[in-house]
Structure 1
Amino acid sequence: MTQDTTSTRAPGWSRPPLPPEGEAHFLEDHPFDLVRTPLPESVLVEEARITMRDGVVLAATVFRPADGSVVPVLATSTPYGKDDYGQWDHFRDAPEGNVPGGGFYLGQVTVSDHTPFEAPDPGYWVPEGYAVLLVDHPGLGRSDSNPSSGLGIEERWRDVMAWVEEQEWSTGKVGMSGVSALCAVQWMAAMDPAPPQLKAIIPWEGINESGPAGGYGGIPEVAFPEWLGHVWIGPNVNPEAQGPEPALFDWAYDVSRISVPALVCASFSDQELHSWDTFHAFGRMQSEHKWLYNHRRQKWGAYYGAPELALQKAFLDRFLKDDETAFTDQPRVRLEVNESRDVHKVLTAQEWPLPETVYETWHLDAREGLLAAAEPSTPAAVTIAPAPVDDTDNRAVFDLTFTEDTDLVGHMVLHLAVEAVGTTDVDLFVGVEKLDAQGDEVYFYSASGGNANGPVTRGWLRASKRTLDEARSTAWRPVLDLSTDAPLTPGEITDVTIPLMPSGTTFRAGETLRLVVQSWSTPGQWEGGECRVWAAHQEGSARLHTGPGLGARLVVPRLG
C-alpha cells in the first residue's frame, strides 16, 4: 500500500488577497491524501482487442475473477488512456502558461494501483463479483479510429456490448460507471435505442448538453480546455489512428432519450463544471427507475468512498444480478444541505426540485447595500469595472441577515437592471456568500471539491449573451440561448437574467447571505485550486440600478 499525503500547492503559489470577511474559516493547507492499494491476486488482468462493424479495433483491458466465475460487467471508455494509472499526479504539476497546476484539495482518495483517472476501481469491483472493462476511446490510447465512418459513440458501444455478451466469462449483462468525461460516455451509450445488454448506468457528475450555465454565461474560459488538451488528452492521442473519434469537445448528447435505470450523482461542489448539467440530466431522463445522489464534498473522494461504493454496488446488484432485496430502501432524491464546509444534514424526497420549495423574491437596494422583501422606494446605482481586480471596493455587495433558521435548496436566479458605460458589453461574475454571526465568511467545497474555500453558489453572464432559450427555461431555472449576440446600448438600462448554480445551504438566525456582483473573477477567492482563467471583457464599466419598477432582485429557493 502506498499513501501519499502531501500538499498540492504548485511551486510559487501564493494566496490572493481575501476580502476582510474572509479570514476566520479559510483553509490554507490543501493536502492530497492518495492511497494506492495493490490489485488483489484474485483479479485476472487480460488485454483485449474489440473489432467494430467497420473494422476499427478498440483496445481494452478486462479485469475479472481469476477463478473463471461468470459475472456481469461494469464498463467504461476513457479519453485519458486506460493504461495510465498515474494521472492523479497531474494535480501536483507546476502551472505552465494558462495550464493550471497543483492546488486541488482532493481530500481522501483510495483506489487500487490499476485504477485509471475517474474510472471504476477493479480492485473493488472484481472481488464483489463483477468484471471491469476499460476501453480506450476511439483514436486515443491504443485504439484505432475512423472519423469518416459516421458512427457515433452509441454505435461503438453497441458493438462493444455485443462483444461482451459473447465472452464466456460474462453473463451478458452490462452496467456503466465513471466520472466527468467517463460520465459523458454513458449519456451517449445509453440513448435509446440502448444496447439490449445495458441494464444500468451510474453517471457521476458529467457534462451533457450545455456545460455550466450554458458555458459560463458566454464568458470564455481558456485554461480548462487547454489543460485537458495539453495534460490529459493530448499525450494519449494514438499517432497511428486517424484522430479522436468524434473530435474532442464535439460529442453529441440527448439525455431525454435515456430510459435505462440510472443512479445519478449531481453535487453542489462541482458548480464550475458539472452541477448544472447533471441535475438537468436527472430531470430530463425518461428512466422509470432513476435516483439522484447529491453531496457537497470532493468529487473523487465521494465516488471512491466506502459508503458511495456500497450504494453503487447495491444498485448494480439489483439490475445486473437481479437481486430483488438490494437497493429497496433508497429514496428517489437524497441531498446534502451544508451548514459549513464539513457540516451537513441529509434530506430525502421523491422529486427534484424539492416539492416544499417556496421561491422568495429579495429586492436589491444599491443605496443601502441590502436585500429586502420590499422593493426600495428610492432609485440608486452602483458602478463596477473590470479593473482593478482584487479590490473589494470594485464590487457590488447586497446583504440579508436571517431572523430565523432557513434552508435554501435549489436554483437561485438573479435579475439585474444594467447600464453599460463606455462599452456595448459587460461581464458579470456573481457569487452568493455566507457570513456567520460574527461577519466571517463560511466557506464550502467547490471546483469539484478541489477548492475548499468556495462560496455558496455562483453565476456568470456576458450581457450580450443574455437572450434566454424560452422553450427550455422555467422561472426557477432560466436557460441561456448563447447562439445570438445582443449588444447593449450605452446609457440605456437593460434587464438581464443570470442563472446561478444549484446549491443547498442552511443559514442560522443571525447569519447573513451576501450577494456579490463584479466584473472580474479572482481565482484564489472564488476558484481556488481550479485555476480558471477568464477571457473577460476589459472595456468600460457596468452600472447596476435598483429602485421602483426596475426589477433588480434575487429569487431564492426556501424550503417551506
Structure 2
Amino acid sequence: MPLLAVANWTDWSTEGYRAAASKQKWLRIQTGDHLTPFYSDESLALQKRFFDHFLKGVNNGWEKEPRVAVQVRRPDGTTWRSASAWPLPGTRAERWYLNAATGSMSPAPSTAAPAEKSYAGQGDGLTFSAPFEEETEFTGSIGVRLWGSSSTSDMDIFAAVRLIDPQGRDVTFMGNSDPNVPLGLGYLRVSHRAFDPARSTEYSPFHPHLASEPMTPGQLYPVDVGFTEPTSIVIPRAIGSP
C-alpha cells in the first residue's frame, strides 16, 4: 500500500515509515507544531497530489516526487533538502565522548583517568558541552550510553541535547506541542535497560520492556538511552554545543 508519512522532529512518526513494508513510500520530516505545517497550503497540495495519483490514477508526476524531504533547522530558520532514502544517504554515525572530570564532550575519547560525577535526584543533573570551531550539521538519530549508579534500586534518566548560544542561553525550537523544545529528548527507567540487539542500531536502542531488573545500590550499570525522534540542526561556528 502506498504511504506518505509526514513526521516532525519532535514526535515518533519516522518509526512508522521505517517499519512500513511498502515499496512505494515517501517521507517528509518537518518542524513546527503538530498541526500548522500539516495543514499549510503547501502540505495540503502535496497530500492532494498523492491521493489523486494513487486513488484517481491522475498522471500528475507524483512518481518523480523525492522519496524523502527533510526540513533542516538552523538557529535563524530552516531549509528543505531532498534525498532518496532515510537515514539520509552519506550519513556518518559519530561518537562523542563525555568527560565527567571536566564536564566537556569531544569526538575523541579522553586519555585522562576515569572519573565520575553525582547529582541529587531532584537536582539540576549534569551538563556536558563543547564549542564548535566551524559550522557543523547533525541530521539523524541520537542515542547516549551512560554508566550510572544510584543510592536506590531504580532511577529514571532524562537526557536532552541542547544548543547553547555564546551568552549561555538555550536556543529552543517550536515543538509539536511546546513552543520551546531542545534539539532532542530521551528518557529511560534504568530497571528497563535491557534492549533487543536484533532491533537496535548503534545509535538507537530498542527496549522491549518485558521485565524489570532492579539496580543494586552503588553498582554501576551501562544504560543505553534512545531519543524519541531523530534531530536536525546546523550549528554555526562557536555558537555552543549539541
TM-score by length of 1: 0.42
1:504 paired with 2:232, answer yes
Name the amino acid aligned to 1:431. A
Name the amino acid aligned to 2:138. L
Deviations 1:449-499 (A, max 9, x none): x31111000100110000002221121321112111111111211100001
Aligned-pair CA distance for 1:303: 1.8
Structure 2: distance between partners of 1:298 and 1:378: 44
* SS state at 1:312 partner: helix
Alignment map for 1:97-116 (pairs within 5 Å): none
Counterpart of 1:486 in structure 2 is 213
- Note if contact 2:31-2:37 (Cα within 8 Å) is conserved in structure 1: no
* SS state at 1:319 partner: helix
- Note if contact 1:269-1:445 (Cα within 8 Å) is conserved in structure 2: no
Structure 2: distance between partners of 1:485 and 1:291: 37
1:474 aligned to which of 195, 201, 210: 201
1:269 paired with 2:10, answer yes
Structure 2: distance between partners of 1:285 and 1:371: 36
Name the amino acid aligned to 1:343. G
* SS state at 2:133 partner: coil
Deviations 1:35-70 (A, max 9, x none): xxxxxxxxxxxxxxxxxxxxxxxxxxxxxxxxxxxx
Counterpart of 1:411 in structure 2 is 141
1:307 paired with 2:20, answer no
1:437 aligned to which of 142, 163, 166: 166
Alignment map for 1:109-188 (pairs within 5 Å): none
* SS state at 2:218 partner: coil
1:420 paired with 2:150, answer yes
TM-score by length of 2: 0.94
1:322 paired with 2:50, answer no
* SS state at 1:485 partner: coil
Structure 2: distance between partners of 1:451 and 1:284: 27
Aligned-pair CA distance for 1:369: 0.6
1:464 paired with 2:191, answer yes
Identity of aligned residues (%): 31
Structure 2: distance between partners of 1:477 and 1:281: 15
- Note if contact 1:290-1:332 (Cα within 8 Å) is conserved in structure 2: yes
Name the amino acid aligned to 1:358. R
Name the amino acid aligned to 2:161. V
Aligned-pair CA distance for 1:410: 1.0
Deviations 1:294-339 (A, max 9, x none): 1011121112110000000111111111112242432100001111
Structure 1: distance between partners of 2:199 and 2:164: 34
Structure 1: distance between partners of 2:81 and 2:203: 20
1:372 aligned to which of 100, 106, 119: 106
* SS state at 1:283 partner: helix
Deviations 1:59-85 (A, max 9, x none): xxxxxxxxxxxxxxxxxxxxxxxxxxx
Structure 1: distance between partners of 2:47 and 2:168: 40
- Note if contact 2:162-2:183 (Cα within 8 Å) is conserved in structure 1: yes
Alignment map for 1:32-47 (pairs within 5 Å): none
Aligned-pair CA distance for 1:439: 2.8
Alignment map for 1:157-556 (pairs within 5 Å): 260-270=1-11, 275=12, 278-340=13-75, 343-376=77-110, 377-388=112-123, 394-421=124-151, 423-446=152-175, 448=176, 450-500=177-227, 501-514=229-242
* SS state at 1:359 partner: coil
Could you say if the C-alpha distance between residues 304 and 412 of structure 1 is closer, same or farther in structure 2, counting changes exceeding 3 Å?
same
- Note if contact 1:339-1:506 (Cα within 8 Å) is conserved in structure 2: yes
Structure 1: distance between partners of 2:133 and 2:64: 37
Structure 2: distance between partners of 1:337 and 1:454: 16
Structure 1: 5+ residue stretches without partners: 1-259, 389-393, 515-560
Structure 2: distance between partners of 1:301 and 1:507: 25
Aligned-pair CA distance for 1:283: 1.3
- Note if contact 1:416-1:496 (Cα within 8 Å) is conserved in structure 2: yes
- Note if contact 1:317-1:326 (Cα within 8 Å) is conserved in structure 2: no
Structure 2: distance between partners of 1:325 and 1:413: 40
Deviations 1:488-537 (A, max 9, x none): 111211100001131111111102225xxxxxxxxxxxxxxxxxxxxxxx
Structure 1: distance between partners of 2:194 and 2:142: 18
Name the amino acid aligned to 2:67. R
Name the amino acid aligned to 2:179. A
Structure 2: distance between partners of 1:471 and 1:357: 21
* SS state at 2:179 partner: strand
- Note if contact 1:469-1:481 (Cα within 8 Å) is conserved in structure 2: yes
* SS state at 2:145 partner: strand
Name the amino acid aligned to 2:218. G
Deviations 1:364-388 (A, max 9, x none): 1111110012322122211122224
After TM superposition, which residue ranges in structure 1, 4 or more long, deviate above 6 angstroms?
Answer: none
Structure 2: distance between partners of 1:463 and 1:385: 16
Aligned residues: 240
Aligned-pair CA distance for 1:438: 3.4
Aligned-pair CA distance for 1:399: 0.2
* SS state at 2:93 partner: strand
Structure 2: 5+ residue stretches without partners: none
* SS state at 1:318 partner: helix
Structure 2: distance between partners of 1:298 and 1:490: 41
Name the amino acid aligned to 1:327. W
Name the amino acid aligned to 1:429. F
